[in-house]
Amino acid sequence: MLSTSPGGHVSIDFAGAGGGARRQQSWWRRWKQLSRLQRSLLLFIIIFLLICGISSCPAINQLAAQADTVGETDALILPPMLEPVKQVDPPWLEQTSQRRLSNKGGAAVLASRLHAEGNASDRANPNPNPDPNPNRPEGEAAGRQLDGPTEGVTSWWGAEMDAGRVRGGTEDGDHEDPHVHQEEEPSQDSASRQEAVRDAFRHAWKGYKAFAWGHDELQPLSKSYSEWFGLGLTIIDALDTMWILELREEFEEARRWVATELSFNRNVDVNLFESTIRILGGLLSTYHLTGDPLFLSKAEDMGSRLMPAFNTPSKIPYSDVNIGRGTAHPPHWTSDSTVAEVTSIQLEFRELSRLTQQPQYQAAVAQVMERVHVLEGKLDGLVPMFINTNSGQFTHQGVYTLGARADSYYEYLLKQWIQGGRKEDQLLEDYLQAIEGVKKNLLQRSSPTGLTFVGELSHGQFSPKMDHLVCFLPGVLALGAHNGLPADHMDLAKELMKTCYQMYVQMETGLSPEIVHFNMYEGSSRDMDVKLADRHNLLRPETVESLFYLYRLTKDPVYQDWGFQILQNFNKYAKVPSGGYTSINNVRDPEFPSPRDKMESFFLGETLKYLYLLFSEDPNLISLDRYVFNTEAHPLPIWTSAE
């Protein structure tokens, strides 16, 4: 409609527009009427509100995502680790070429400490089910004291214990995770399981005898052998295993070889540590079990040929010895030795001195322990990995681990103390301090299920890395508790034993990798990850070793069940039809675990021996009150008070 204003202007009124144009014009007129300051303030407020709105969008999305996953998070009782395992038999290659693998690698002080801290002889714990709470808060600081409940125990001084039953790391009523590798519940009795170990040994021996007799190690896939020292390492390492397993025919053929073929008068370099724990330890052990002087004579010959290693400025021994020429030297790339190597030969040299009445052997290794005892560079009893043979000082300080290059130092502190009749207070003090250092600096729990593990410390930074080698620790802790050390050592042993078992059961093959990295952060879907380079399994003994100690000292059959599962998986994924067992490259691939064509001597010397002892119901079969095992599973006698 057209209209004329009093001033002669024409205005246009658009019917049906709802007055929108006039309102828009009115708002604009009002805006123009504002001062510049007022307009600036309004613009600032509008922009501020827009920014706040935009920034709130991610938070809204996150809340929505959390709401969607509440059910999933609440269901995390056991780790949803893997897809269901395919039950397949691995196809073996005709021949696999692989590079050489790395190798293993009533004292007054005691009375006062145990009086102050309380020992297992004085404690009876009312809770028989020490399963960790899967819903405990995560992210606790590394090294805190574990405060979980302990199992009912009246005494660790040689008494049998009424241990609680814990199956697969869960309490009764917990849900089994279908994604974790599961075996059928073993039903075989102990005798049949021991016979299964004998069968495994016979099969391994069959391959060694057919394709590698007299040589160091079998390559079962290529039906060949590899040499390290050229001293028939597998035969010597397996002597006492055959005796303990009552394989008399195999033992006699091995003894004939030792009597007629074994000679140490050879121009060959040997590693001091490896030749001590495998050859010297194996010969001494077999002598004690059989009483045959042949083995003591060979042991004394070998021991005397290793002595040049101690001719260093610091008396810290060189790593390598030429047993034919009588010379010794460090590795070509360094003048350092590893701490584990120089502090894990004492049991054998001490015993050699006792048997031969020649004090020089014990004196040489005692100097090493005395030197390490006073060295600076320790952290709460934890030692670095390297020590210089010239200066006698720790090198590469700041890195602390219970894995490779340091592991058996801690083991031999306790075992020397036991071997000597629990009289050497300095060894005990160093051991107890080191265990406290582990608790303070290296102990942590994983997420989501709270597995207790031992990590590493590098220049103040904690790493959740744990070697399979560290699985020796549960057994050592249990052995210490059996000898009167604090009861919480046994509690920790049981916690770590579950973790080591989970390192097997959470892999698709049911076999542990060499190294795992644990997750520590809330929201993790699995407790452990495995890097590609760490997925190999070398048929190592540490887990079954600790299972043996835990079963022998608690009589809880769950440890036997776990060990039998491991044996079954060795048979499934590592057994070579023509004879022998092989290390594998990939524990995460059950269809093709990628065999490495190598059977380490410790598979016969340690792994199968500990499995056999694990399944034994006779506590006097290598009694822990009469023998102490060296780090290669060769039992040596505990000295009586008269010795």
CA 643 – CA 639 distance, rounded (Å): 6
- Is the torsion defined by CA of 596, 598, 601, 604 positive or negative? positive
Instruction: State residue 585's pLDDT score.
Output: 98
Question: Looking at beta carbons, which pairs linking 106-113 to residues 24 or more positions away fall under 8 Å?
Answer: 106/422, 107/422, 107/423, 107/424, 107/425, 107/428, 108/425, 109/425, 109/428, 109/429, 110/422, 110/425, 110/428, 110/484, 113/432
CA 412 – CA 425 distance, rounded (Å): 14
Q: SS3 for 622?
A: coil
Instruction: State residue 12's pLDDT score.
Output: 39
Residues in binding site = 631
CATH number of 264-430, picked from 1.20.120.1200, 1.50.10.10, 3.40.50.720, 2.30.30.140: 1.50.10.10
Q: Which helix (H) or strand (E) holds 269?
A: strand 269-271
Which residues of the chain have a pLDDT value below 70? 1-33, 55-188, 642-643
Q: What is the DSSP string of 294-331?
A: HHHHHHHHHHHHHGGGG-STTSPPPSEEETTTTEEE--
Instruction: State residue 70's pLDDT score.
Output: 36
Q: What is the DSSP letter of 537?
A: B
Instruction: State residue 396's pLDDT score.
Output: 94
Q: Strands, E, within 503-600: which ranges?
A: 515-518, 528-529
Q: Which helix (H) or strand (E) holds 217?
A: strand 217-219
Query: Are the beta carbons of 230 and 268 closer than 8 angstroms?
Result: yes
Instruction: State residue 635's pLDDT score.
Output: 99
Active site residues: 274, 407, 514, 542
Instruction: State residue 90's pLDDT score.
Output: 53
Does CATH number 3.50.80.10 belong to domain 128-256+442-643?
no
Q: What is the DSSP string of 93-162?
A: PS----PPPP-----HHHHHHHHHH--GGG---S----PPPTTS-S-PPTTPPP-------S--SS----
Question: Do the domains spanning 128-256+442-643 and 264-430 agree at the CATH topology level?
Answer: yes
Q: Strands, E, within 378-503: which ranges?
A: 386-388, 394-395, 399-400, 443-445, 452-454, 456-458, 461-463, 465-467
Nearest to 472 by CA among 541, 419, 413, 528: 541
Q: Which helix (H) or strand (E) holds 635?
A: strand 635-637
Instruction: State residue 48's pLDDT score.
Output: 81
Q: What is the rounded end-to-end Cα distance, in angstroms, of the chain?
A: 127
CA 373 – CA 369 distance, rounded (Å): 6
Residues in binding site for Ca(2+) = 631
Would you state the structure tokens that stand for residue 85, as one six-digit string?
Answer: 């395992």
Instruction: State residue 450's pLDDT score.
Output: 97
Boundaries of every domain in the chain: 128-256+442-643, 264-430
CA 377 – CA 375 distance, rounded (Å): 7
Instruction: State residue 106's pLDDT score.
Output: 38
Residues in CB range of 220: below 8 A, 6 or more apart: 207, 211, 576, 578, 579, 580, 581, 582, 597, 599
Token pair 């078992």: residue: 501
Residues in CB range of 459: below 8 A, 6 or more apart: 398, 399
pTM: predicted TM-score of the whole model, two decimal places: 0.75
Instruction: State residue 45's pLDDT score.
Output: 85
Instruction: State residue 167's pLDDT score.
Output: 32
